[in-house]
A and B are shown apart, each in its own frame.
Chain A
Amino acid sequence: MSTFSGINASVTALRAHRSAMDVIGQNIANVNTPGYTRQRADLEMLNAPGGSGMLTGSPVTGGGVHIVGISRAFDAVQSARVNVQTGDHALQQERAATLSDLEALTQEPSDAGLSKQLNKMWAAYADAATKVGSTNADGAARQSVLGAARNVVATLNAAWNTVDQQWSTTRTQVAADVDEVNSMASSVAVLNEQIQKATTTGGAPNELMDKRDQLVTRIVELTGATTQAGRNGQVDLYLGGGLLVQGNLANKLSVSENPNTMSDVVNGQLAAEKIASTPAPTGSDLVALQALVAKGTITVKVGENTATPLSGKLAGQVEALSKTLPRASRDYDAVATSLATKVNALQKSNGGIDGNGKTISTTPGTPAGSIAGTDLFTSNTPSPFTDRITAGGIALGESVTGNTLVLGMAANGAKDGSVAVRIAAIGTSKADPTSSVAADRMEPPDRLWASYVSDLGARSSSAEARTSAAQAVLTSSIADQQGAAGVSLDEESADLIAAQRAYQGAARVLTAVDEMLDTLINKTGLVGR
């Protein structure tokens, strides 16, 4: 064994512990850095140099210590759990946010909601029924019916426009999110490549991995992608059956150009229902309907393959675009259609009489002087489905005036209010499924509205509950992950002291060897001099 091996061992110790302190320094420096995974200097003792010669046979000490690597305290299982739950939480949150916006829009229960406006309109009709033909009050009562009807229309229009706007905003948001995902996915691919190079050349890719994992978590939050560990520290990302990132290659995520508006989606759904109905449409009708379905369907693609995101913000947004918002819009439309159909049917009652004394007839002209009557509610937005009046398109008929309102039946005398009484009773009526009149088979708008509001409330409250459950699970798994991967200042301080002491000890050994050599070199053979 060499005389200087002691020095060598001490030097390895000094070097190793200085490196360990560097790692601790890096850990402490990054104690608050998001996504940082704590690192450890892995020490290993050096074996004694084996060999033969003069000194073989005598006990040999080891060769000191060295650093075999700097490892990351990375737990793949925990990290995957955090990713899955991040995606789930993002989906639930998006869902709850959409529903919460919709229910805020209903303004129920309050004096500002649609139910109040409808009630006011029915009350105006009931009031008009008592004032038909009254010298001063008749005109005013008719105007207040029109005013109340105008308010109902305005409320429906405004609500529908807000839903429509929410749809457009979400659509724009999806495009922005897709861009972000694409840019992050290419960064992940680039980082994957750098990590591979670093790993194969024996470099330290820890910080690169941290950076990449952070991007992966964000991608998962946005798209609900699943991760799979690849070779040489790389990570692959799958999105609903498509391969988003494989090693150093990233595929482009894209969302179809169509639909452009919420009406496209609604019309697509209606077309699909019509195709499925009996008798099934054929020929050019079918082609036209299929075109509507295609225009109203939103598709997500990864590369060239269609992918269905199952969680993450994107899944929530696609759900809002293709289901939640169009459904709300259709519920609003149902209220508008029921309102218009029921009121218009009574407004055009055969034998009714309007404020000008004209008799209403289904065969205008018979009896002489009779007219067809005027619809109170019309649609100002053309739709491919003519039997529907949308909440966005409902309007008061252009030629409607106070005197075109039909409040009574001609046979009962010009000052009769029986039609107005029947209109006022729509609000509390029930659907009669056996009736031969289409308007009577419909549920009244008030009931449709109440069931929409309560259904929305129930869905929103369950979405909120699921969001907070997902939040709790996510928080606990993040805490677990942080527990394993996060930097503990206490631990680092203790490690620092240990490394410092070890360094001091190694230096002390070096001094001892130095003194020993001094004795050997400078003091030996000087006895008696």
Chain B
Amino acid sequence: MTERVTHRSIQESSLARLQGNLATMGLLQAQISSGKKITKPSDDPAGTVSSLAVRQQLRLNDQYQVQGQDGTSWLNAQDTALQTVSSQLRAARTLVVGALNEGYVTDGTRTATSVELDGIAATVLSLANTQYQGRSLFAGTAGENYAVTLTTAAVTGAGTPPAVTYAPAQYTWSKTGLPADAANPRGTNTPVLRQIDAQSSVRVDTNGADVFGADVAGNGTAASQSVFSLLRQISDEIKTPKDAGADIVVDPAATPVVPVAKEQRLSTLLGRLDTAMGKVLEGLADVGARTNRIDHAMEIAQSNKYELTDQLSKVEDVDLPAVMIQMSLQETAYKAALQVTSKVLNTSLMDFIR
């Protein structure tokens, strides 16, 4: 609609267009030099939101990986401990079977066997107290620095002949939950959890009361003789057979109390040792299964990491060849604009009047 064109109007509009050209160049230059398509939220508000979301996902994924690695270390430590416990119990079983076969030969042999069994009991107890970075593997959330302790020594009976009842030693687990009471006779147990993906957490400790047995109800487990107390009873039985009566109680926790005859006493205890070994093996299998689960989740997390990084790059990073081509097109346009502007503004009628 401009009817009249003056040098000034050409100058104004040329400058505006050159400015526009230069601004576009600046934008492309910023994209190329930063390598980012989105340098500020207004470049792509929707993209910014996805970028924030993907970054959060990446952070969570890293977190899952760290938690998974930590979980694997916990479980590996338990695996080692439980393997050792299992082999110790096998050794104990051999000793008990030997004692059964040979009968109560001499006091000296009995004492030797019992000393050896005491050693095994001490090893198993210390294995049950294994720690990983200051935390008990078998009583994960408990505040104490040990998982299980001897709270009542064995009562071997008083008087001569010794008393008919035998109360084995009581070992108590450190509390990992609410104490047992009337409403909740087993108490509760709090697991140590590691989150390995958005939906699931894996338990990385093992409830010692389940694997080793608990003399006192608590930590979510009903009272049943613990392996420590059992080993102690076996050792005592071998050292000094309680022959003063036929109705000695071997398991005060069992209800109803079952008296066991003297001849069957050791084999009953052997049967119980087998049960205890079975529990340890179950615990081992469980640890193995959980380790596998974490390994699997870690593989997924690793591949997610690549995927998310790729996604982030797609949202945020520039398509370099495309931008370079755009840049060179823009450069050509800018040069052309400069050239034409300089020609147009340079001439006037003045040049042709003499």
Name A residues whose Cβ lies closer than 8 Å to a Cβ of B: 31-32, 99-100, 103-104, 106, 108-109, 115-116, 119-120, 122-123, 126-127, 130-131, 133-138, 357, 408-409, 411-418, 421, 424, 427-428, 446, 449-450, 453-458, 460-461, 464, 471, 475-476, 478-480, 482-484, 486-491, 493-494, 497
Decide: A482 and B60 in contact? CB cutoff 8 A: no
CA distance A491 to B4 in the complex (A): 10
- CA gap between A126 and B144 in the complex, in Å: 22
Chain B contacts with A in 127-150, Cβ cutoff 8 A: 133-135, 139-144
- The 9 residue pairs across chains A and B that have the minimum distance between CB atoms: A414-B143, A457-B41, A135-B134, A457-B45, A413-B141, A486-B8, A412-B190, A460-B42, A461-B42
Contact B6 A126 (CB under 8 A): no
Contact partner of B9 (CB less than 8 A), chosen from A99, A482, A497, is A482
Q: Sample 15 A-B pairs with CB under 8 A, ordered by A number.
A: A32-B8, A103-B42, A127-B63, A138-B134, A412-B190, A414-B144, A428-B60, A450-B53, A457-B42, A457-B44, A458-B45, A480-B9, A489-B7, A493-B350, A493-B353
Q: Which residues of A contact B107 (CB under 8 A)?
A: none
Contact of A130 among B3, B12, B67 (CB under 8 A): B67
User: Does B268 reach chain A (CB closer than 8 Å)?
Assistant: no
Q: Which residues of A contact B2 (CB under 8 A)?
A: 479-480, 483
Rounded to whole Å, the gap between the CB of B226 and the closest CB of chain A is: 19
Q: Which residues of A contact B41 (CB under 8 A)?
A: 103, 106, 108-109, 453-454, 456-457, 460
B219 — nearest CB in chain A belongs to which residue? Answer: A413
Q: Is the CB of A413 within 8 A of B63?
A: no
A126 touches B42 (CB 8 A): no
Q: Is B38 an interface residue (CB 8 A)?
A: yes
For the complex, give the distance between the alpha carbons of A100 and B43 in Å. Answer: 11
Interface size class on chain B is 35 or more
Chain B residues near A409 (CB-CB < 8 A): 190
Supposing A486-B9, A494-B349 touch, asked if A415 and B142 sit within 8 A by C-beta, the answer is yes
Secondary structure type dominating chain A contacts: helix
Q: Are B45 and A483 in contact (CB under 8 A)?
A: no
A123 to chain B, nearest CB (A): 5
**Which chain A residues border B349 with CB–CB below 8 Å?**
489-490, 493-494
Most buried by B among A127, A411, A424, A471: A411
Which residues of B are interface residues toward A (Cβ below 8 A)?
1-9, 12-13, 16, 38, 40-46, 48-49, 51-53, 55-56, 59-60, 62-63, 66-67, 70, 133-135, 139-144, 174-178, 188, 190, 192-195, 316, 348-350, 353
Starting from the known contacts A127-B66, A453-B49, A493-B350, 10 additional A-B residue pairs (CB-CB under 8 Å) come to A109-B41, A116-B55, A130-B67, A134-B133, A135-B134, A411-B178, A421-B193, A450-B49, A454-B41, A460-B41
- Distance A455 CA – B45 CA, assembled complex (angstroms): 7
Verify B190–A416 contact, CB threshold 8 A.
Answer: yes
Residues in A neighbouring B42, C-beta threshold 8 A: 99-100, 103, 456-458, 460-461, 464
**How long is the Cα–Cα vector from A408 to B312 in the complex, in angstroms?**
35
Which of chain B's residues have a CB closer than 8 A to the CB of A488? Answer: 4-7
Partner of A412, one of B8, B52, B141: B141
Complex Cα spacing A301 to B15, Å: 38
Q: A487 contacts which chain B residues (CB < 8 A)? A: 6-8
**A455→B63 CA distance, assembly (Å):** 29
Asked if A486 meets B70 with Cβ closer than 8 Å, knowing A134-B135, A415-B143, the reply is no
Contact B143 A475 (CB under 8 A): no
Report the separation of the CA atoms of residues A177 and B174 in the bound assembly, to the nearest whole angstrom. 74
B131 to chain A, nearest CB (A): 8
Asked whether, in the complex, the Cβ of A414 is within 8 Å of the Cβ of B142, the reply is yes
Find out whether the CB atom of B143 lies under 8 angstroms from the CB atom of A133. Answer: yes
Task: Name the contact of B7 in the complex, choosing from A31, A427, A480 (C-beta under 8 A).
Answer: A31
A113 to B330, CA, bound (A): 32
Whether A123 contacts B45 in the complex (CB less than 8 A), given A413-B142, A488-B5, comes out as: no
For the complex, what is the distance from the CA of A123 to the CA of B55, rounded to whole Å?
Answer: 13
Centre residue among A133, A478, A484, A491 by max chain B CB count within 10 A = A133
Q: Which residues in A have their C-beta under 8 angstroms from that of B6?
A: 482-483, 486-488, 491
CA distance A525 to B293 in the complex (A): 140
User: Measured between C-beta atoms, what is the minimum distance from B23 to chain A in Å?
Assistant: 9
